[in-house]
Structures are given as structure tokens and as C-alpha cells.
Structure 1
Amino acid sequence: MAYSQADIDALKAAVARGATRLRMGDEEVQYASLSEMRRQIGVMEAELAGQKTGGLTISTPRTLRGL
């Protein structure tokens, strides 16, 4: 699912109020806990960041003893 910044902002606002139920448009979501909501915010932010960068991640290997 593609998330928007508005989705993230709405979820953060619900967490700030201490609400575990969130309605966005015609959809309602009930979370088990605030910690679950915080984890979901992390997932949404990571996905949104990946969309902005094209989803390409470059990593450089590091070794302690050389190649």
C-alpha cells in the first residue's frame, strides 16, 4: 500500500491523543496498542522515504581484515 504524508500525520495525531482507533475517509482501523501504532508509523515513514528515493539502496561492505 502506498502511504502519504497525510496518512502519517493522521496516525501521529491519533497517537498524540492516545486514541487507538483511527478513521480515514470511509475506512476505520483499530490498533491493539499505541506501541503498535508507533511501529506502523515507522513502517509508513520508511516506505514513504523509499518512494522518494526511488527505492534504491546502496551499501558498501566493510571488512576488518581486508578482502
Structure 2
Amino acid sequence: MMATLDKLIQRRDDLRKSRASGVMEVEDQNGERVRYKSDQQMAAALSDLDRQIAEIQGRATPSSFHFQTSKGV
């Protein structure tokens, strides 16, 4: 089941608040708890939530970058 945009944004905001305060456990509106082992795990979860939100909003991040360079001549 795909989460709604509002739920994803709420989860992201809750996770950001927890991360900023140093709390490693998050409880959602349903009472489900998630305990993170490290700040790196929290950062990965935030990144994934941001990706999902961008995808729903139609502004997905590019999967590749193309560089155009020259010698300046």
C-alpha cells in the first residue's frame, strides 16, 4: 500500500525532530515504534522519505548527470 503524501511528510517531519533532538526511537500515529541504531540509519530513512515525497509530487531526482566540459579554447 502506497502511503499518502500527507503521511509521508508527517513521518519525515517526526523523524527530523527526533534526529535533531538525539532521540533514536520514533513512534508513529498507529503506535508502531522504530528504533534506529545510528544517525546514519536515520539519514538514510530521511533520504528515502524525501525520495518518495518527490516521486509523488512529480519531481523525482535525476538518476544520472551529464557533464559538458571544454578546455576554454
User: Do these two structures clear the TM 0.5 threshold for a shared fold by scoring above it?
Assistant: yes
Q: Percent identity, please.
A: 22
TM-score, normalisation: structure 2: 0.68
In the other structure, the counterpart of 1:36 is 41
For CA contacts below 8 A with separation 6 or more, give which structure has more relative contact order. Answer: 1
Superposition deviation, residue 11 in structure 1: 0.2
- Give the Cα separation in 1 of the matches to 2:56 and 2:10: 15
Moved over 3 A (4+): none
TM-score, normalisation: structure 1: 0.74
Where does the alignment leave 5 or more consecutive residues of structure 2 unmatched? 68-73
CA RMSD between the two structures: 2.6
1:48 aligns with 2:53: yes
Task: Give the match's secondary structure for 1:22.
Answer: strand
Q: In structure 1, give the amino acid aligned to 2:52.
A: E
In the other structure, the counterpart of 2:28 is 24
- Give the Cα separation in 1 of the matches to 2:18 and 2:27: 10
Size of the alignment, in residue pairs? Answer: 63
In the other structure, the counterpart of 1:65 is none
Superposition deviation, residue 16 in structure 1: 0.2
Where does the alignment leave 5 or more consecutive residues of structure 1 unmatched? 63-67
